[in-house]
Amino acid sequence: MSLRSLALIVLLVPLAVFGAAGLMGWRVPVPVWGRDYVVHVALGAARAPLVLPPVEGPADPSRPLVVIDAGHGGRDPGAIGTDAAGRRVAEKDITLALAQALRAELLRGGGIRVALTRADDRILPLAHRPEIARRLEADLFVSIHADSAGDKAEVGGASIYTLSEAASSEAAARFAARENDADRLNGIAIAGTSPAVSAILVELSQQRTQEAALTFADLVLREGGSAIAFHPQPQRSAALAVLRAPDVPSVLFESGFVTNTTDRARLTTPEGRAAYAAALARAIRVFLAREAARAPG
Ligand SMILES: [Zn+2]
């Protein structure tokens, strides 16, 4: 997806959440690399009830859980490209196919529980995606996207995003204010504590979560080095709403550009997806093993 459209969605979601009533189906024109395209943001969808997806893999709830989020879906196609045969390639289809390939790879290896925020072509409110990971008490949240560079077909490569530091701090403060009565955050009881103490506890939790997210991003670059074609500047941070869970390490994997021939070939073939999924699964296994070794008890 394009960062600009994501940024717009980030700006619009709070509007929806905080009750901009009746604003269904806004049309937001988003200029992307000189090309205009239109994102349909169904603000009303953010008020839809949150439905937790099934958790697959081992029944043992002590096994680590990864929530994989296929970006976009339904009426929101994300970035759009065209393949050599003139067929439309939509980001929402790439993200779902890659999410499914990663799920299959993790389940094949065993020992890890997996849930997909969406397993078919449906619209899912942005705010629900990290919330699903939080409610399921996930150990890792991976949101999968693809990008567009408009007419700049030479622009290609994958990158991995973590939450920017300023956004992280701000998210922690906002979360503390909103969730002051929550009773669990990284195992820390914050119910009944003063707002100031809660804010500090949330901030600490968010810092630990951010460190873990950065560790995972490093691992993706290390494990994916030979299999994944990375952008020259592959590690980035931004104020992305899907990465704001204060207690679940979260990254956004931009798998490549739908407007780049090489990326498109990798992301739209089972072989290409399998190679990406295998590299991501290796990084996930190393990360979860390290986190388990760090955990108290
Ligand atoms: Zn996207």
Cα of 42 vs centre of ligand 1, distance in Å, is: 16
**What does DSSP assign to residue 124?**
-
Cα of 45 vs centre of ligand 1, distance in Å, is: 18
Instruction: Write the pLDDT tens digit of every residue in 24-39.
Output: 333 333 333 332 333 3
Superfamily of domain 65-164+218-294: Zn-dependent exopeptidases (3.40.630.40)
**What does DSSP assign to residue 287?**
H
Residue 17 has pLDDT above 50, yes or no: no
Q: In terms of pLDDT, which residue wins out, 16 or 240?
A: 240
Question: CB burial class (10 A; 0-12, 13-18, 19+) of residue 257?
Answer: buried
Instruction: Write the pLDDT tens digit of every residue in 216-255.
Output: 999 999 999 889 999 999 999 998 889 989 899 999 999 9
Cα of 39 vs centre of ligand 1, distance in Å, is: 11
Cα of 70 vs centre of ligand 1, distance in Å, is: 9
Q: What does the alpha-carbon distance between residue 3 and residue 146 come to, in Å, rounded to a whole number?
A: 10
Using an 8 Å Cβ cutoff, are 246 and 138 in contact?
Answer: no
Its pTM stands at 0.80
Residue 19 has pLDDT above 70, yes or no: no
Kindly state the average pLDDT of the residues 59-64. Answer: 96
Residue 175 has pLDDT above 80, yes or no: no
CB atoms within 10 A of CB 174: 14
Cα of 61 vs centre of ligand 1, distance in Å, is: 31
Tokens of 103: 């799920």
Instruction: Write the pLDDT tens digit of every residue in 66-77.
Output: 999 999 999 999
Cα of 15 vs centre of ligand 1, distance in Å, is: 20
Q: What does the alpha-carbon distance between residue 199 and residue 9 come to, in Å, rounded to a whole number?
A: 26
Tokens of 237: 């941070």
Question: Which residues surround the ion ligand 1 when the cut-off is CB under 5 Å?
Answer: 1, 71, 78, 145
Between the alpha carbon of residue 127 and those of residues 80, 133, 184, 261, the distances in Å are 23, 11, 19, 32
